[in-house]
Amino acid sequence: MRINIGCGQTPTPGWRNFDNSLSLKLARIPSLPGLLLKIRFLEQTQYDFIQFARSNQIEYGDATRALPLADNSVEVLYSSHMLEHLDQTEVFLFLEESKRVLMSGGILRLAVPDIKKQVDQYLLTGDADQFIEGALMCIPRPRTIAQRLKTLAVGTRHHQWMYDGRSMCHLLSSHGFKNAKVVQPGETSIKNPGPLDLYERLQESVYVETENS
């Protein structure tokens, strides 16, 4: 089994694809998303994602709690631009759950925004506003009651932490994974990666692979 965690709108064909968006829970109730769109609790983009998730068989799964998968059942676990949305406690839980479902020697491949690329760009341009905006770590305060209710229900989608290749490798090694390494775009130790996008969000990403012990 090969799985994509936090796939959003880029599921991997032929794999099991999971996301923890509230939209996936709403997608289970046929008429509710349309009603929530009419009362403006949902934005059009969220409604569109519900329709996309239905047609692409994206499953609900929260990897900081428990995925609906057996122990040692997964050969490859891939996640792109999800880890940075977790706080440090959630990262620990995600890695523990990854170790549980991965078979011994199974591969974990992660793609995250590379803070080093963002810092290098800032040093080149001196544009502090662009740097802060790109880091996505500043969370707008909800102003209206509707915005506050939405934040309570959905949470925030901003970044909780940022990484570079070195810090990612250290994180994975400290959680008991082995042979953590930065891999170049298009490079992988996954046998027959098939439709997996090895260049996903190329311009802003660093890619790291490691093995379950």
Write down the domain spans for the chain: 2-20+61-113+158-211
Pick the more confident residue, 47 or 188: 188
How many angstroms separate the CA atoms of 130 and 113, rounded? 15
Residue 107 is predicted with a pLDDT of: 98
Residue 21 is predicted with a pLDDT of: 83
Q: Which residues contact 124 (CB under 8 A, 6 or more apart)?
A: none
Check if the beta carbon of residue 160 is closer than 8 Å to that of residue 86.
yes
- Strand runs (DSSP E) across the chain, as ranges? 2-5, 16-19, 59-60, 74-80, 102-113, 178-183, 205-211
- Whether the per-residue pLDDT at 212 is higher than 70: the answer is yes
Alpha helices for 56-144 (secondary structure H): 88-101, 115-125, 128-135
pTM for this entry = 0.89
Residues in the chain: 213
Sheet holding 16-19, edge to edge: 59-60, 16-19, 2-5, 74-80, 102-113, 205-211, 178-183
**Which tokens go with 33?**
């998303």
- Whether the per-residue pLDDT at 36 is higher than 90: the answer is no
- Residue 154: pLDDT band (50, 70, 90) is low
Measured N-to-C along each axis, helices 88-101 and 165-174 cross at an angle, to the nearest 10 degrees, of: 60
The percentage of residues in the chain with a pLDDT greater than 70, rounded to a whole number, is 95
How many angstroms separate the CA atoms of 121 and 114, rounded? 11
**Which tens digit of pLDDT belongs to each residue from 51-93?**
898 889 999 999 999 999 999 999 999 999 999 999 999 999 9
Residue 148 is predicted with a pLDDT of: 73
Pick the more confident residue, 115 or 47: 115
Residue 149 is predicted with a pLDDT of: 64
**Which tokens go with 14?**
């032929």
Three-state DSSP class for residue 33: helix
How many angstroms separate the CA atoms of 151 and 168, rounded? 29
The CATH code that applies to domain 2-20+61-113+158-211 is 3.40.50.150
**Which tens digit of pLDDT belongs to each residue from 101-138?**
999 999 999 999 999 999 999 999 999 999 999 999 88
- Residue 204: pLDDT band (50, 70, 90) is very high
- Residue 139: pLDDT band (50, 70, 90) is confident
